[in-house]
């Protein structure tokens, strides 16, 4: 979503991958070289954790770099905005999320459970658009929690290259520790484990059981913080207005989801949710044909679709006169 529109607009690219996951970017550069792309068009700079800050500062300070596109935390996004200010760079920021997943009484529960599974547990919950807070209306709350837990219990944790495995590891020890801390905070404040709730000791990775929590409340940290792990906290709500208010009660505004068969409600809730993307009766919204991005502190700009080209081009007004003389 970043490199393709830049190249299509005629812009050379410098990729700085995350220090924990550099190999895919290096593979792209090698494939570009094999395909005959001229030297200097697609470039990759890698750095360990100790050097990443220095590399970022250099890219932000360079007058040659006219646009910076970043995917990562809101905290780092703010720092990059400050560092880019002296050179007045264009910025595309895809930052943190706190995606709500709302299930109304009139929803198709089986479809909602399937949507929650893909929205919450894909990549072990480690995407910025993963459902972070699940809200079920009081009339179907118990049934939704039971159906979701039944599906989650069927998941198999392990090495993704092994047959039958449906959930792999978290990316690092710190990520596992964060998930454990958030779950412990929720349990201490009254949440209940329906299934999961513990790490899995498998050599060679940092694994956590796919988890469903009930009796979750707004005073728990996972109501405000991005979990980035395979934990589904299910909150209860009473009215449509309450659901919208709870969903919007966050500094983030990237992705949101809800399930309903009421056409009027679909339009009302879609308009009421303060998010850059809204999935209605689906838990999978990311495709290359649509504009991807958020509002509030989830970022700036859009990636994908025709809007994805906007950051890499400039509008120029040329006024011609005197040609009739």
Catalytic residue selected from 60, 84, 94, 130: 94
288 an active-site residue? no
What is the distance between the alpha carbons of residues 213 and 45, in angstroms, rounded to a whole number? 41
What is the distance between the alpha carbons of residues 209 and 250, in angstroms, rounded to a whole number? 27
What is the distance between the alpha carbons of residues 23 and 2, in angstroms, rounded to a whole number? 17
C-alpha of 94 from chain center: 8
Burial status of residue 79 (CB atoms within 10 A of its CB: 0-12, 13-18, 19 or more): middle
Residues 6+ apart with CB under 8 A from 82: none
128 an active-site residue? yes
Catalytic residue selected from 128, 130, 226, 303: 128
User: 3-state DSSP call for residue 80?
Assistant: helix
Token representation of residue 114 = 């399937």
Give Dmax (Cα) for the chain.
83
Element containing residue 61 per DSSP (H, E)? helix 49-61
CB atoms within 10 A of CB 245: 12
Q: Contact 104/259 with Cβ under 8 angstroms? A: yes
Residues 6+ apart with CB under 8 A from 64: none
Element containing residue 77 per DSSP (H, E)? helix 74-84
Question: Which residues are part of the catalytic machinery?
Answer: 94, 128
């Amino acid at each position: 979503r970043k490199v393709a529109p830049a190249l299509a607009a005629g812009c050379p690219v410098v990729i700085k991958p995350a220090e924990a996951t550099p190999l895919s970017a290096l593979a792209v550069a090698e494939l570009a070289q094999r395909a005959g792309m001229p030297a200097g068009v697609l470039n990759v700079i890698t750095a360990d954790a100790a050097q990443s800050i220095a590399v970022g500062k250099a890219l932000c300070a360079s007058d040659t770099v006219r646009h910076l596109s970043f995917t990562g935390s809101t905290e780092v996004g703010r720092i990059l905005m400050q560092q880019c200010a002296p050179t007045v760079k264009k910025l595309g920021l895809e930052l943190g999320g706190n995606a709500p997943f709302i299930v109304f009484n009139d929803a198709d529960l089986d479809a909602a459970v399937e949507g929650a599974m893909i929205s919450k547990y894909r990549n072990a919950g480690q995407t910025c658009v993963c459902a972070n807070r699940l809200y079920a209306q009081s009339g179907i709350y118990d049934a939704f929690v039971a159906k979701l837990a039944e599906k989650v219990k069927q998941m198999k944790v392990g090495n993704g290259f092994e047959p039958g495995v449906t959930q792999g590891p978290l990316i690092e020890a710190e990520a596992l520790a964060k998930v454990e801390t958030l779950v412990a905070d929720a349990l201490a404040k009254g949440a209940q484990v329906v299934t999961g709730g513990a790490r899995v000791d498998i050599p060679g990775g940092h694994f956590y059981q796919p988890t469903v929590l009930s009796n979750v409340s707004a005073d728990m940290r996972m109501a405000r913080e991005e979990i980035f792990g395979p934990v589904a906290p299910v909150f209860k709500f009473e009215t449509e207005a309450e659901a919208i208010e709870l969903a919007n009660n966050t500094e983030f505004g990237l992705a949101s989801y809800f399930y309903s068969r009421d056409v009027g409600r679909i339009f009302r809730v879609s308009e009421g949710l303060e998010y850059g993307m809204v999935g209605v009766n689906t838990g999978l919204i990311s495709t290359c044909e649509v504009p991807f991005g958020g509002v509030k502190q989830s970022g700036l700009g859009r990636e994908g679709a025709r809007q994805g080209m906007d950051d890499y081009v400039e509008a120029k007004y040329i006024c011609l006169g005197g040609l009739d003389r």
